[in-house]
Amino acid sequence: MLELQQIGKSFPGVRALDGINLQFRPGEIHALLGENGAGKSTMIKVVSGIYPEYDGEFFVNGDKMTLKSYQDALDHGISVVNQEIQIIPESSVAENIVMDKLSNFKKKSGRVDWKAINAFAGKYLDMVELDIDPNTPIGPLSAAQKQLIQIAKSLSCDSKILILDEPTSSVTRHEAATLFSIMRKLKDQGVTLIFVSHKLEEIFEVCDLVTVIRDGRWVGTDLVGNLDREKIIEMMIGRKCSNEYLGNLNKIGEDIVLEAKGITKESEIHDASFELHRGEILGFYGLVGAGRTELAKILIGNSRADSGTISVEGKEVEIHSVSEAIYEHGIGYVSENRKEEGLILDFDVEQNIGITIWNELKHRFSRKIDDVAIRKEEQRHVDKLQIKITGLDQMVKNLSGGNQQKVSIAKWLAADCDILIIDEPTVGVDVGAKEYIHQLIWDLAKVQNKSIILISSDLPEMIKLARRILVFKEHEIVGELDDIHTRESLCEDQISRRIGEFLV
């Protein structure tokens, strides 16, 4: 169905792809794996017409392709769910879905047939089990909802080759399972599926074949049945990865650093109360749209509650803005939405990481800014997180998705807040870096006695890090699991079942 011969692609200072030869057959789900910056997205952009300039050639059904644009790829039966969510925020869900086929929906009179558009969009929304009105504006929806809409959009193209670049990065397992059953159906119909994900359990669940690339070069291709987790990781990072239990956090003390009482905001969160202790990692778990991020935004002054109170270190406070949260109350927020909120894409890495420490160092050095100190601090975080950049002056928009996420984390680690709200910290980062970020979060709590709220849809991550988990459902906190690490057997299935009981 698709064959790559000697595909190569360079960017200034980087050989992103180098001599890739690969074949994809009809009716197979083929995983494309590799570390952040390995070249996965670049390869996808080459075969989908987004990068018309490259070395080598590729063929669809034996025909040599010379695609000029993504539209061209669509016309040849290739569609892509992109890693970066691509939407027009001002438009409705339906408009986003039919964006590239609007001409199919013109009535004889020349008018747009809105009824047909909504019906068409509705059909694909049903397919991904997204229960929203096609007329809803897409902008305010959550990252996961947007991701599901992108999937719906690609499905609506009826392509022979469907490429999914980290389609599950911000959705929960339940939603991913829906996607996998759709993928299996398409496979049975002879569609070729290429699937990129950093969640290895998904690879074993749904893929037939695995190809690993490293630094732009092919490392190997094999049947999933011939591989295990360790083997794949070794192929990806060239060494073994330890994924051990992190030990015990300090015993939760009496010291309450943050307390919320009865926080309510219409259609976002209802009557949420909780306490965050010093040195604790408190998990917020729940299905997408359950109200976790909404609550976080109220806590950091990005949105105002209709009622309820927030106290920091025992004193009731009103937080009016994000900068007030950081500089007056020591509360930082690592956003799930790195493109829109976490990073300034047109700035370089140095400026992005520097934003938060700048103020800090400014105070420390009596308003004089010590460039050397700042750069040293930034470089330290870049090295620790192994962020793949050509230099601190590289534009963030040119980094691979996972490396952008690492910059966003580095920025907040550098900020040194007492309370840190971390929203989906490892979305899109590779296994090696994920392990490192987990260790960092753990050390923040254990060694530095920081207090952390962890919002994550990744259950293994939640269980590994959080000692208490609050379960959110339909804008409310519906339950609490408070003995995660003290239980005799730290069994994911059991915890998953208990969370499930709250969610029914």
Ligand X SMILES: Nc1ncnc2c1ncn2[C@@H]1O[C@H](COP(=O)(O)OP(=O)(O)OP(=O)(O)O)[C@@H](O)[C@H]1O
Binding site for ligand X (CB under 6 A): 11, 14, 16, 34, 36-42, 83, 388, 398-403
Which residue, 301 or 401, has its beta carbon nearer to Mg ion?
401
Residue 14 binding: pick among Mg ion, ligand X, none (C-beta 5-8 Å cut-off by kind): ligand X
52 versus 225: smaller Cβ distance to ligand X: 52
Q: 381 with 256: CB under 8 angstroms?
A: no
CB of 332 or CB of 401, closer to ligand X: 401
Backbone angles phi, psi at 490, to 5 degrees: -85, 80
CA distances from 134 to 115, 116, 268, 408, 461 (A): 10, 11, 20, 32, 33
- Residue 11, strand partner residues: 14
Binding site partner of 39, from ligand X, Mg ion, none, Cβ cut-off 5-8 A by kind: ligand X
User: With respect to Mg ion, which residue has the nearer C-beta, 330 or 402?
Assistant: 402
- β-strands 209-214, 217-223 pairing: antiparallel
Q: From the CB of 229, what's the least distance to ligand X, in Å?
A: 18
Q: Which residues touch 157 (CB under 8 Å, ≥6 apart)? A: 74, 79, 101
DSSP secondary structure letter of residue 343: -
Taking the complex as a whole, the smallest distance from the CB of residue 178 to Mg ion amounts, in Å, to 23
* Residue whose CB is less far from ligand X, 16 or 481: 16
Distance CA 271, CA 275 (A): 14
CB 387 within 8 A of CB 403: yes
Q: Which of 31, 73, 381 is nearest to 226 (CA)?
A: 31
Measured CA angle at 480 (ends 477, 486), to 5 deg: 160
Closest to ligand X by CB, 256 vs 345, is 345
Report, in Å, the least distance between residue 388 CB and ligand X.
Answer: 5
398 binds, among ligand X, Mg ion, none (CB under 5 to 8 A by kind): ligand X
Query: Residue 456, by phi and psi: left (phi above 0), alpha (psi -120 to 50) or beta?
Result: beta
Instruction: State the nearest-atom distance from the C-beta of 429 to Mg ion, in Å.
Output: 11
Nearer to Mg ion, 279 or 428 (CB): 428
> Out of Mg ion, ligand X, none, which partner does residue 143 contact, by CB within 5 to 8 A per kind?
none
38's contact among ligand X, Mg ion, none, with CB below 5 to 8 A by partner kind, is ligand X
- CA dihedral of 442, 443, 446, 448, whole degrees rounded to 10: -140
How big is the CA angle at 446 (ends 444 and 447), to the nearest 5 degrees? 70
CB of 379 to Mg ion, least distance (A): 24
First-to-final CA distance of the chain: 43
Residue with the closest Cβ to Mg ion?
41
Six token digits for residue 196: 């990129």
List the beta bridge partners of residue 419.
331, 451
The CA-atom distances, in angstroms, between 361 and each of 354, 372, 375, 414 are 10, 11, 11, 11
Q: For residue 457, report the phi and psi dihedrals to the nearest 5 degrees.
A: -100, 0
Determine the residue with CB nearest ligand X: 402
- Cβ 343 to ligand X, closest distance in Å? 14
SS3 of residue 60 by DSSP: strand
Q: How far is the CB of 22 from ligand X (least distance, A)?
A: 14
Q: Would you say 199 or 297 has its CB closer to ligand X?
A: 199
Q: Which does 388 bind (CB under 5 to 8 A by kind): ligand X, Mg ion, none?
A: ligand X
Contacted entry of Mg ion, ligand X, none for residue 289, CB cut-off 5 to 8 Å set by kind:
none
Whose CA is closest to 243, among 66, 88, 461?
461
41 or 457: CB nearest ligand X: 41
Rounded least distance, CB 5 to ligand X, Å: 19
Cβ of residue 164: shortest distance to ligand X, in angstroms?
A: 13
Instruction: Answer with the entry of ligand X, Mg ion, none that 11 interacts with (C-beta below 5 to 8 A by kind).
Output: ligand X
Please give the residue ranges that form the binding site for Mg ion (CB under 5 A).
40-41, 83, 400-401
User: Considering beta carbons, is residue 130 or 385 the nearer one to ligand X?
Assistant: 385
Per-residue exposure over 53-63, b if at least 16 CB sit within 10 Å of its own CB, e if not = ebebebebeee
Could you tell me the smallest distance in angstroms from the CB atom of residue 402 to Mg ion?
Answer: 7
